[in-house]
Amino acid sequence: MTGPRKTTSLRLLGALVAAAALGVLWLLSGHGEGQRPPEESPGNATIAAPEDHSASEAAEKRGESMIGGRSSHLLGRLHDVAASLASNDNPDRSLGMLSELRADIESMDPESVSLAFRRFLESGVDAPTCLRLAAGTDGTLDAWPTLRVFILDRLPSVDPEAGLELSLRVMEVMTSPDEYAIALRNLAWSDLDGDLRGELIQRLDRMFSRADWVAQSSPGLLEAIDAAVLLPEDEGVGVALRITALGNSTVNQPLTRAAMMALDRIVERNPALLVDWEPGECLQPEQRASLMSRIDPSEAEQLPVFSDYLAGLANERELAVFSRLFPNGNQLQGNRLFSASLPTVSIERRREKDVRILDAIRDLEFSAGSPAAVALQQIRERLEAGIKTSNGE
């Protein structure tokens, strides 16, 4: 085996040099290339002579000027980070810079951070990071493709109202699908009692009306499909079906996969949706089989749907997938921008459900030798074998 990474000491040296260079740049700030805003110093803030105002008003203004000072300092740093990112092509280095920025911001007062963030976003300056957008454990991001996406991601945690306000502006101008995805998430976070649900649907539809964004299928756009899972079920199914159809028709595999993930997660939550469901030609046969494999015939209203579906299956590929997959015991888990995952079903609960389903389909009959009869027999045998094994037989 060869030894450890040879570039470790070089990386450390490089980091030290970069840190020193940033320090020099900070000291010399104000002589840049015009991207940085004019500096604000506490001396420029409006502070009236104490005898002209009450003591509390004077203290308030001194407080504002302190916020202004700290905010200016952070704003300067944001512009420095932008410059560093723009000249950097190493994603690990970008991640390090932004992770450090994130940690430092958490120890600062929210008002200063909010002000600096807002001013930076309004400046229009941005920088790529060489990172893909990556969702973290509760919808916050673990990686950001640009500095603006980083700021949009972090702003609600320091100032939710400013986060919503700026997110609405971002969604109006529609310059970046990744920015739009995080702005949409911020809108969802601002919803208290469903009052913003209608706007969320409209904004999601607008996102997918952009043919260029859909063709590009950036990570942000794909992660935003998760919003469909947050919507009322019928609306969510409709949105996800439309996107799936779009992906199928344009042979956009990442788009199709993401949309089908959303559909699967919606149907898993409520298989009864399949009772009145008519996907039409939106789905390919195997996709339809994958979704229908979630149906639960142990529920009275779903048994006839199971029976009719099996009886009416004419497509061989669809029949093959369904007969091997049903009843679907798989679950999708992961980090999502909008929705929470269902808890993992235990092995024991899965077995109990298999027993109930086997009981429910035991007396079903189809014409002898028909594809439906053959498929039903395969399903029964597989369930029986699995249950016997779990019983130790």
Under the binding rule (CB under 8 A), the answer on residue 280 touching other proteins is no
Under the binding rule (CB under 8 A), the answer on residue 182 touching other proteins is no
Under the binding rule (CB under 8 A), the answer on residue 190 touching other proteins is yes
Under the binding rule (CB under 8 A), the answer on residue 41 touching other proteins is no
Q: Which is nearer to other proteins, 36 or 240 (CB)?
A: 240
Element (H, E) at 375: helix 371-390
| Subset of 336-365 contacting other proteins (CB under 8 A) | 336, 340-341, 343-351
> Smallest distance from the beta carbon of 178 to other proteins, in angstroms?
10
Contacts for 224 with CB less than 8 Å, ≥ 6 apart: 177, 180, 181, 184, 185, 204, 207, 337
Q: Which is nearer to other proteins, 82 or 133 (CB)?
A: 133
Under the binding rule (CB under 8 A), the answer on residue 235 touching other proteins is no
Exposed, middle or buried: residue 241 (CB in 10 Å: 0-12, 13-18, 19+)? buried
Under the binding rule (CB under 8 A), the answer on residue 261 touching other proteins is yes
Under the binding rule (CB under 8 A), the answer on residue 72 touching other proteins is no
Element (H, E) at 135: strand 134-135
Provide the β-strand partners of residue 143: 134
Q: Which stretch binds other proteins (CB under 8 A): 17-25, 154-162, 200-208, 267-275?
A: 154-162
In whole angstroms, give the CA distance from residue 156 to residue 312.
51
Q: Which is nearer to other proteins, 306 or 326 (CB)?
A: 326
Under the binding rule (CB under 8 A), the answer on residue 257 touching other proteins is yes
Q: Which is nearer to other proteins, 37 or 160 (CB)?
A: 160
Q: Which is nearer to other proteins, 123 or 157 (CB)?
A: 157
> Smallest distance from the beta carbon of 31 to other proteins, in angstroms?
35
Confirm if 109 and 148 have CB atoms less than 8 A apart: no
Under the binding rule (CB under 8 A), the answer on residue 143 touching other proteins is yes
| Subset of 113-132 contacting other proteins (CB under 8 A) | 132
Q: Which is nearer to other proteins, 171 or 337 (CB)?
A: 337
Element (H, E) at 143: strand 141-143
Q: Which is nearer to other proteins, 36 or 241 (CB)?
A: 241
Return the DSSP state at 340. Answer: P
> Smallest distance from the beta carbon of 69 to other proteins, in angstroms?
18
Q: Which residues of 188-203 are buried (b: 16+ CB within 10 A; e: fewer)?
A: bbbeeeeebeebbbeb
In whole angstroms, give the CA distance from residue 21 to residue 15.
10
Under the binding rule (CB under 8 A), the answer on residue 298 touching other proteins is no
Tokens of 362: 């035991």
Cα-trace Rg, the chain = 28
Under the binding rule (CB under 8 A), the answer on residue 334 touching other proteins is yes
Under the binding rule (CB under 8 A), the answer on residue 297 touching other proteins is no
In whole angstroms, give the CA distance from residue 29 to residue 88.
20
Q: Which is nearer to other proteins, 81 or 221 (CB)?
A: 221
Contacts for 136 with CB less than 8 Å, ≥ 6 apart: 142, 335
Choosing from 45, 58, 123, 189, the residue that interacts with other proteins (CB under 8 A) is 189
Q: Which residues of 268-305 are buried (b: 16+ CB within 10 A; e: fewer)?
A: beebbbbeebebeebbbbebbbbbbbbbbbbbeebbeb
Which positions from 193 to 222 touch other proteins by CB under 8 A, shown as an x/- string?
Answer: ------------------------xxxx-x
Under the binding rule (CB under 8 A), the answer on residue 154 touching other proteins is yes
